[in-house]
Chain A
Amino acid sequence: MSDIAIQVENLSKQYRIGTKEIQHDTLMSAAVAWVKSPLENFRQLRRLSSFKNGDEADVLWALRDVSFTVKHGEVLGIIGRNGAGKSTLLKILSRITPPSSGRIMLNGRVASLLEVGTGFHPELTGRENIYLNGTILGMTRTEVEHKFDEIMNFSGVERFIDTPVKRYSSGMKVRLAFAVAAHLEPEILLVDEVLAVGDAEFQKKCLGKMSEVAQTGRTVIFVSHNMAAVNQLCERGIVLVDGELRFEGSTEQAIEKYLRDDSAIQSATIDTSQLTGRSGTGDGRILEVRLSDESGNPSTQFGIGDALTVELRGVVYEPIHRLSMGVEITTLEGLGLLNLRTDSQGIDFGPYRANDEIRFQIKVPSLPFYPNTYLVRPWIAERGGKRIDYVQEGITLTLEAKGNYLSERMIQAGRGLVILDAHWLEKPHSVS
């Protein structure tokens, strides 16, 4: 058996996006169009599944000429921005949707995990859902039977195993679903952003299980926005930009490439409304985050010790009496360096009515960190209550050595985390 687990050759996928509706100026033309509309609709619906004329205006290339290989036992991370084609690639690999052209060869039993709890039925009990979900993910009935106790123990919902899942809390549901997924034993595992759901503790558990899987010599393809997770799990990474393979190499290099490209493309104002790496009750949403320097210029590049201003714009969907908020600054690995929060200073905002806009400005007096790339993760919460929205995926910020620090070789990433100017004093001493 060759040592290649997955071979992707010149893979392309095109999608048809909706075309603009035609505006009618006269009642007559509108009436004629209405009569003809069934025909027109038929033509359009039919076109959804056919691509006869190649490059048309409303055809989107989700993937274009992507080739790569993955060896047995390798853990490959696929990174890229929203819409870069990561999920499409994973869907083709898992055979959910066929490629438009190109070829994939998979050596080994494949299981894909694009979502936890696919096919869960609210009316069925936990036990019944374990069997259903297990077989949906490709296990046989006997395999599920063998692992049933293990799955049940892992999920921690033993007491409710014969209760319909609709009576479960959302946390219990996710735990049960993940427990089933965690007991898959394929040779090749394809995983999408499943880690984006659930609370921090659950995510940690997922990540732990994932690295366990990775260490047992299985081939894993992992798609995520969470750079910390990619960095922790994967040996190799590929970067997709607009459906094309932009980079292939070590995880560190891939992440660096991604972040550099990313900040070059993006301005310092980041639309966070569509980011998927987030958690919270969802009663509100942070829509936009803007980073700027001392003089108010938008930027994502700062010098050591510079001041940072974070501006948030968002919306609350439910009335909030007292709102607290915070900004975390962490390393790419997720290590928290700074945790600024209103409640620690006895501050809160509000009240807000449903659908009120919220806007804040947070001034961070100094960024006393070693040169590196960091994540800024804002959150909002109900004072003394649950988090409403937490942009875990974070916004990247790079710190560079400058000023006094510039010439010093010792100030490099990895030599420390926090840097401060101390007072150094030479005490009187006897001279021999």
Chain B
Amino acid sequence: MNIGKTALNQTIIESPKGWQAINWRELWQYKDLFYFLVLRDIKVLYKQTILGFAWAIIRPVFSMVVFTIIFGNIAQVDSDGVPYAVFSYVALVPWTYFAAALTGSTESLIGNSGMLTKVYFPRLVFPLAPVFAKLVDFVIAFIIIIVMMIWFQIVPTINILFLPLLILLMILTALGMGMWLAALAVQYRDVKHAMSFATQLLMYAAPVVWPVSALTERFGETARLVYGLYPMAGVIEGFRAALLNTTPMPWDLIGLGTVSAVIIALSGAFYFRRMEGVFADVA
């Protein structure tokens, strides 16, 4: 929608033409709503459960146990010289966040269609809220990393200082893909059905159960660089390098991942804005 704001709170409504810029000012005006939507997502998530926020730990921990048995012991997947359990768990924490945030974002428009058709506010708030709400789970699951590192007596490297950067990249990736998929899912419900197995596939595509060094060994340096375009590769390998010192900090993967994450996020935002107008009509 073409909304021009001028002094005196004047609003002009016209038929949208072509691509729309992101209205940051308007988004800022709705920061309180954003805050309460994030709060809602956090509060509601584990209501009426016995284990509550323990679920944030249970999911990655159980995956870790299963992966350690299957890939660590039976398949003997290389784990860059650290115990497979901590190798996979350090990857599972950012991965679990990414999968949950992406799924939440994707379903945010369909799940809130009641609001979508009854009241106006910047639609970008919808996919943004789960991306932030899921950070709570991420933080809780992260505590177990610390516990495991103490248990296995692993000292993190100085690169741990770059962890916030990797977390930002992780958030940006989830948000960028989330905006694309949310906008697509409103019109094409196929997206919703594809989500559960698509995240599964994406997980095996990410270096969660295997190290990137295995890929480099088999397919060479070029393959590694192409692979770096998948932002979660840089995030996960970066987590491992910083915390477990498995490899030197993979700046090549992180750099390429950042470029592609920024492209995904920008194009996603523009696509989202372009589709925004029809959300209420097709939801």
Q: Tell me whether A48 and B33 are in contact (CB under 8 A).
A: no
Which residues on the A side are within 8 Å of B11 (C-beta)?
95, 104-106, 110
Which residues on the B side are within 8 Å of A112 (C-beta)?
119-120
Complex CA distance for A406 and B28, rounded to whole angstroms = 67
Q: Tell me whether A140 and B32 are in contact (CB under 8 A).
A: yes
Complex CA distance for A107 and B8, rounded to whole angstroms = 7
The answer to the question of B167 belonging to the interface, with a C-beta cut-off of 8 Å to chain A, is no
Which of A93, A95, A101, A105 has the largest number of chain B CB atoms within 10 A? A95
Choose from B13, B44, B187 the contact partner of A99 (Cβ within 8 Å).
B13
> A99 and B14 in contact (CB under 8 A), knowing A49-B281, A123-B47, A128-B43?
yes
Choose from A91, A100, A106 the contact partner of B10 (Cβ within 8 Å).
A106
The answer to the question of B35 belonging to the interface, with a C-beta cut-off of 8 Å to chain A, is yes
The answer to the question of B136 belonging to the interface, with a C-beta cut-off of 8 Å to chain A, is no
Which residues on the B side are within 8 Å of A22 (C-beta)?
none
Choose from A102, A121, A141 the contact partner of B44 (Cβ within 8 Å).
A121
Which of B33, B37, B48 has the largest number of chain A CB atoms within 10 A? B33
Which residues on the B side are within 8 Å of A94 (C-beta)?
119-120
Which residues on the B side are within 8 Å of A1 (C-beta)?
8
The answer to the question of B62 belonging to the interface, with a C-beta cut-off of 8 Å to chain A, is no
> A97 and B43 in contact (CB under 8 A), knowing A49-B187, A106-B13, A107-B8?
no
> A136 and B281 in contact (CB under 8 A), knowing A105-B10, A128-B40?
no
The answer to the question of A118 belonging to the interface, with a C-beta cut-off of 8 Å to chain B, is yes
| 0/1 interface trace, chain A 156-175, chain B, CB 8 Å (1 if under) | 00000000100000000000
Q: Tell me whether B115 and A136 are in contact (CB under 8 A).
A: yes
Q: Tell me whether A103 and B12 are in contact (CB under 8 A).
A: yes
CB distance from B21 to the nearest CB of A (A): 16
Which residues on the B side are within 8 Å of A97 (C-beta)?
277-278, 280-281
The answer to the question of B202 belonging to the interface, with a C-beta cut-off of 8 Å to chain A, is no
Q: Tell me whether B280 and A96 are in contact (CB under 8 A).
A: yes
The answer to the question of B36 belonging to the interface, with a C-beta cut-off of 8 Å to chain A, is yes
Which residues on the B side are within 8 Å of A96 (C-beta)?
116-120, 280
Complex CA distance for A104 and B4, rounded to whole angstroms = 11
The answer to the question of B15 belonging to the interface, with a C-beta cut-off of 8 Å to chain A, is yes
Complex CA distance for A124 and B116, rounded to whole angstroms = 20
Choose from B12, B115, B119, B121 the contact partner of A105 (Cβ within 8 Å).
B12
CB distance from B102 to the nearest CB of A (A): 22
Which of A101, A135, A164 has the largest number of chain B CB atoms within 10 A? A135
Q: Tell me whether A124 and B119 are in contact (CB under 8 A).
A: no
Place the interface of chain A in its size category: 35 or more
> A124 and B16 in contact (CB under 8 A), knowing A49-B275, A49-B278, A119-B114?
no
The answer to the question of B188 belonging to the interface, with a C-beta cut-off of 8 Å to chain A, is yes
Which residues on the A side are within 8 Å of B39 (C-beta)?
128, 132
Which residues on the B side are within 8 Å of A140 (C-beta)?
32
| 0/1 interface trace, chain A 16-56, chain B, CB 8 Å (1 if under) | 00000000000000000000000000100110110000000
B1-49 contacts to A, CB under 8 A, are 1-3, 8-16, 30, 32-33, 35-37, 39-40, 43-44, 47-48
A274-300 contacts to B, CB under 8 A, are none
Choose from A106, A123, A138 the contact partner of B43 (Cβ within 8 Å).
A123
Which of B3, B30, B117, B120 has the largest number of chain A CB atoms within 10 A? B120
Which residues on the B side are within 8 Å of A202 (C-beta)?
none
The answer to the question of A362 belonging to the interface, with a C-beta cut-off of 8 Å to chain B, is no
| 0/1 interface trace, chain A 113-135, chain B, CB 8 Å (1 if under) | 01100110101100010011001
Complex CA distance for A112 and B33, rounded to whole angstroms = 16
CB distance from A93 to the nearest CB of B (A): 8
The answer to the question of A98 belonging to the interface, with a C-beta cut-off of 8 Å to chain B, is yes
Complex CA distance for A121 and B37, rounded to whole angstroms = 10
The answer to the question of B194 belonging to the interface, with a C-beta cut-off of 8 Å to chain A, is no
Which residues on the B side are within 8 Å of A138 (C-beta)?
121
> A99 and B36 in contact (CB under 8 A), knowing A118-B114, A136-B119, A138-B121?
no
The answer to the question of B147 belonging to the interface, with a C-beta cut-off of 8 Å to chain A, is no
Q: Tell me whether A123 and B48 are in contact (CB under 8 A).
A: yes
Complex CA distance for A428 and B43, rounded to whole angstroms = 88
> A48 and B187 in contact (CB under 8 A), knowing A95-B3, A136-B33?
yes
Complex CA distance for A93 and B11, rounded to whole angstroms = 10
Which residues on the B side are within 8 Å of A141 (C-beta)?
32, 35-36
B82-119 contacts to A, CB under 8 A, are 112, 114-119
* Closest chain B residue, CB of each to CB of A1: B8
| 0/1 interface trace, chain B 141-152, chain A, CB 8 Å (1 if under) | 000000000000
CB distance from A5 to the nearest CB of B (A): 10
Which residues on the A side are within 8 Å of B281 (C-beta)?
15, 48-49, 97
CB distance from A51 to the nearest CB of B (A): 10
Q: Tell me whether B282 and A49 are in contact (CB under 8 A).
A: yes
Q: Tell me whether B36 and A131 are in contact (CB under 8 A).
A: yes
CB distance from A195 to the nearest CB of B (A): 16
The answer to the question of A187 belonging to the interface, with a C-beta cut-off of 8 Å to chain B, is yes
Q: Tell me whether A98 and B1 are in contact (CB under 8 A).
A: yes
Q: Tell me whether B35 and A136 are in contact (CB under 8 A).
A: no
Which residues on the A side are within 8 Å of B115 (C-beta)?
118-119, 136
Complex CA distance for A422 and B236, rounded to whole angstroms = 95
Which residues on the B side are within 8 Å of A100 (C-beta)?
15
Q: Tell me whether A107 and B114 are in contact (CB under 8 A).
A: no
Which of A46, A93, A97, A103 has the largest number of chain B CB atoms within 10 A? A97
The answer to the question of A220 belonging to the interface, with a C-beta cut-off of 8 Å to chain B, is no
Complex CA distance for A84 and B30, rounded to whole angstroms = 33
A232-279 contacts to B, CB under 8 A, are none
Which of A96, A99, A137, A187 has the largest number of chain B CB atoms within 10 A? A96
Which 4 pairs across A and B sit closest by C-beta, in order of nearness? A135-B33, A49-B278, A95-B120, A104-B13
| Extra pairs beyond A49-B281, A99-B13, A118-B114 (5, CB < 8 Å) | A96-B280, A98-B14, A106-B12, A128-B40, A128-B43
17 contacts between A and B (CB under 8 A): A93-B13, A95-B1, A96-B120, A98-B15, A98-B16, A104-B13, A106-B11, A107-B9, A107-B10, A109-B9, A114-B119, A115-B119, A128-B43, A136-B115, A140-B32, A141-B36, A187-B9
